[in-house]
């Protein structure tokens, strides 16, 4: 593993931990400069193509998904680690489906369910766009549903 500080190829593993999604986090120390850094390994499984509402297909893009969730969570007390966890859970769920194509609606439903548990304001922000809540009455109904449940 190349050191991100001095670009040396020699580093030694100090600690290894496994996560519940099959990934491995390794704490490393560069043998040249002595700096410590972490690397994360996860298996590369095929993710399905995402079928958009207009019928077009595009590759699953983890960064695009994370970006959309980050926008919903902007200025909210949601740690980056929780956003990354949600993105990882969605990606893992899509891979476990074992299908070649998945509707964008499936991904959106996973995001909205995850945000509902993570932060209610972020959920409402995402729901306004995802559920096409285009007037205050529709937004109020969604907030009332959230408060009831």
| pLDDT tens, position by position, 59-74 | 999 999 999 999 999 9
In contact, 73 and 116? CB cutoff 8 Å: no
Q: What is the pLDDT, as a whole number, of residue 21?
A: 65
The domain ranges of the chain are: 11-41, 49-148
Query: What predicted TM-score, i.e. pTM, was given to this entire model?
Result: 0.68
Looking at the DSSP bridge assignments, the partners of residue 17 are: 25
> Is the C-alpha dihedral spanning 75, 78, 84, 86 positive or negative?
negative
3-state secondary structure of 48: coil
Query: How far is it, in rounded angstroms, from Cα 62 to Cα 90?
Result: 9
Instruction: Tell me the β-bridge partners of 39.
Output: 26
Reported as a single tens digit per residue, the pLDDT across 80-117 is 999 999 999 999 899 989 899 999 999 999 999 999 99
């Amino acid at each position: 593993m190349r050191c991100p500080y001095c670009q040396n190829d020699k580093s030694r593993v100090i600690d290894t931990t496994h996560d519940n999604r099959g990934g491995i986090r390794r704490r490393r120390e560069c043998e040249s400069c002595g700096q410590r850094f972490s690397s994360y390994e996860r298996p590369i499984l095929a993710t399905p193509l995402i079928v958009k509402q207009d019928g077009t297909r595009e590759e699953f893009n983890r960064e695009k998904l994370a970006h959309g969730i980050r926008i919903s969570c902007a200025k909210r007390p949601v740690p980056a680690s929780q956003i990354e966890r949600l993105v990882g859970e969605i990606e893992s769920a899509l891979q476990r489906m074992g299908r070649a194509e998945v509707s964008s609606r499936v991904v959106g439903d996973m995001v909205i369910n995850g945000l509902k548990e993570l932060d209610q304001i972020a959920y409402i922000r995402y729901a306004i766009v995802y559920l096409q809540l285009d007037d205050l009455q529709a937004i109020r109904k969604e907030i009332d549903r959230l408060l009831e449940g």
